[in-house]
A and B are shown apart, each in its own frame.
Chain A
Amino acid sequence: MEIIIYGIINSIILSLMSLGFALVYSISRLPNFAHGALYITAGYIVWLLVNKAGLPYLPSILLGLGATGLIGALMYRFIIIRIRGMEISEIIGTYAIGLAIIEGLRWGGLRGMTYTLPVFVQGSMSIGGVTVDYHRLIIVGAGVLTFALLFLFTRYNRIGLALRGIAQDERAAMMLGIDSDMTAIISLAIGSGLAGLAAVLLLPLGNIVVEQGYNVLIFAVAVCIIGGLGSWTGTIVAAFIIGFAQILTETFISSHFVMVVALLAIIVTLLIKPSGIFGKQKELEERV
């Protein structure tokens, strides 16, 4: 029973970590390697608002998400736009921004292990004899709600439809009057906001340390490669594969190999189906 319960929780956590990265790539074909840095930034902003500005928790979260989204949008408007279309430069550029943010936070005082966000609800309950804390159950609920809202947004909202249009065929969408740069700005803002959402949901489980920015990026990239770059469905499926694989590995093999699972899955994916489980990119070349 605990394998099922904690497998689901672990999978939702991984998909929340990856969703922002997947969204930006699927819409703008932009690998945002500053994703992990934005995750930590969001957590730190909320921490500052709660602990230094003395704001209540909920407004701090909303402001933190807004600020992270804004950072993402500004990042595109003033930096990435200049290297748009140059794939290697995009990777190097976003990674450099991420490094600058993370090291800037460290330099600015985010050191040690005592920075943390409070859990939303204290306490735990037993499900089928397995003790689970309320906060993890909230994460599961919030994760499912986020997926549902994103699904509805991209199907029933004009901006969401424009984002999908660009994702499907950028040139055709531009011919219909959709502004490619504006959609990229919006996608970066939403993707960064999703990184922030993951941060406020997941950081209360532990603490805010800059090194986690790198871990989140590694997991996001792993999940997206396995699921197929650009595929949201693939992202969620891959998160569940890795999430359950990690729990099964710890239960039946050894906790020692838990972190290797994701990396091993990348290697297997690249060997068998380089475009990922649901990946469309380069699928044709693979068949040829």
Chain B
Amino acid sequence: MKRATICFIVLFSAFVVFPSLSISAEKPIVIGAPLSTAFLYGWDAERGIKLAVDEINTAGGVRVGNTKRPFKVEVIDTRDLEPGVPVSDALLALEKLILDKKADFIIGGPIRSEAALAAMDLLSKYKKLSILTTGALTPLYHKKVEGNYNKYKYCFRNSSHSGVMMVEFMTLLEDLRKAHKFDKAYIMVQDVEHARKGGEFMKKALTEKGWTVIDMKVYPTGTADYSVGLHDSGKKGAQILFLWMDMPESAILLKQWSDMKSKALPVGFVNAAEQPGFWKATGGKGEYLIVNLVNGGNAPAKITPWTMKFVDAYNKKWGLEPEGYGTSSSYMAVYQLKDAIEKAKSVDTDAVITALENVDIMGVYGRMRFDKKSHQIISSMDPKEGAVTGIIQWQKGKRVQVFPASVAEGKILLPPWMK
């Protein structure tokens, strides 16, 4: 009798202390995460995925029919953001996740556009559902799905893309024109495909809207001096410095911009300026820079009730705010997948695809639902209608959401030397 009582107490304590034990007997659903983990877009995605998985598992797991199954994450380093690493390496890593680690679903990358595009055939071959959450900004991704749905129906993307970002930038610049009578822009982009295309698009769009684009400078990766361009922009009266760069040397550009007290407000997609540590790294010289973090929730904001809940949970688990592009989308992808599996009542790929096409949840960065033909997240300027961007301005060491107006927490400030 005494032994039975002790056994009961031990078992009861185990269930109280470790509630997840109740689901641990079920086979986990394996999420494969192919990410370039040495880079921001990789490690922040990994942290986002792991946070969501922890939350879901702690809450009991995923209901698949009558059982509850936990998620398990298998991360593999694709190294696709490292210079000189061929796309084939990223594909091999993805294949290893599918064949070796027996991933049921893929969330995350590959991150580089060309690797993500090449991976689509592999996902189709193995019939693996994937939610792309970070890195690849090319509209080609969802256009490929739309162009050949039966082959590429396995590919979803819950993150924004450059086509949407351009519209956002144009709206923001037009707002600035109305507010401050700006009409001269100077474009500086990195010599990589996405940045060149972004710069060319902006040049065309700004010109069509009546702006004067003074020049577009294309800088090779590794450029360590921007004095010529900055002086040129100053001499010719530029009021906007449109930037599109993901190289670390863009920090040099911003420091030079501040030292020279350039009279053009920097706006753009600048990878080096996304992380919370950017402020300290530039000694505050990044103040006033406006950066597009692609999706809302990658910095503190009040887009939906879930946004700050996510920011706080991330801060608690990892000891810092969400860092940049790829964080909120990777986190949300796990919840979207959970919702789809529960709706499908199965982990069968085709059933989950159909369910995911119908998932409609109010997430961290607005209403989250996929376009049924292209599997691209539906974007909007209104969080009630679709996924909202995260355009922030560095103000006194903080990343303040300044666009779109519906979720802005502060106004765009100009440096004192521009007034």
Do the beta carbons of A206 and B228 come within 8 Å of each other?
A: no
Q: Which of A205, A211, A258 contacts B255 (CB 8 A)?
A: A205
Stretch in A53-61, A108-116, A146-154, A176-184 touching the partner: A108-116
Do the beta carbons of A254 and B224 come within 8 Å of each other?
A: no
Interface size class of B (residues with CB under 8 A): 35 or more
Residues of B close to A207: CB separation below 8 A: 248, 251, 272, 281
Q: Which of A131, A215, A247, A251 contacts B260 (CB 8 A)?
A: A131
Interface size class of A (residues with CB under 8 A): 35 or more
A76 in contact (CB, < 8 A): no
A255 in contact (CB, < 8 A): yes
List A242-271 residues whose CB lies under 8 Å from chain B.
246-247, 250-251, 254-260
- In the bound complex, how far is the Cα of B83 from the Cα of A212, in angstroms? 11
Do the beta carbons of B223 and A258 come within 8 Å of each other?
A: yes
A63 in contact (CB, < 8 A): no
List B54-71 residues whose CB lies under 8 Å from chain A.
none
Do the beta carbons of A114 and B278 come within 8 Å of each other?
A: yes
Do the beta carbons of B228 and A250 come within 8 Å of each other?
A: yes
Residues of B close to A131: CB separation below 8 A: 231, 259-261
List A158-199 residues whose CB lies under 8 Å from chain B.
none
Measured between C-beta atoms, what is the minimum distance from B343 to chain A in Å? 38
Q: Which of B221, B224, B229 contacts A206 (CB 8 A)?
A: B224
A236 in contact (CB, < 8 A): no
- In the bound complex, how far is the Cα of B225 from the Cα of A255, in angstroms? 10
Residues of B close to A209: CB separation below 8 A: 248
A119 in contact (CB, < 8 A): yes
Residues of A close to B86: CB separation below 8 A: none
B219 in contact (CB, < 8 A): yes
B40 in contact (CB, < 8 A): yes
8 A–B pairs (Cβ distance < 8 Å), ordered by A: A6-B225, A13-B225, A111-B43, A116-B283, A130-B231, A209-B248, A256-B218, A258-B220
Q: Which residues of A contact B (CB under 8 A)?
A: 2, 6, 9-10, 13, 106, 111-116, 118-119, 122-124, 130-131, 133, 205-207, 209, 211-212, 214-215, 246-247, 250-251, 254-260
Q: Which residues of B contact A (CB under 8 A)?
A: 38-40, 43, 83, 191, 217-225, 227-229, 231, 248-249, 251-252, 255-256, 259-261, 271-272, 275, 277-278, 280-283
Give 6 nearest A-B pairs by CB, closest first. Answer: A114-B277, A133-B259, A259-B220, A206-B252, A209-B248, A113-B272
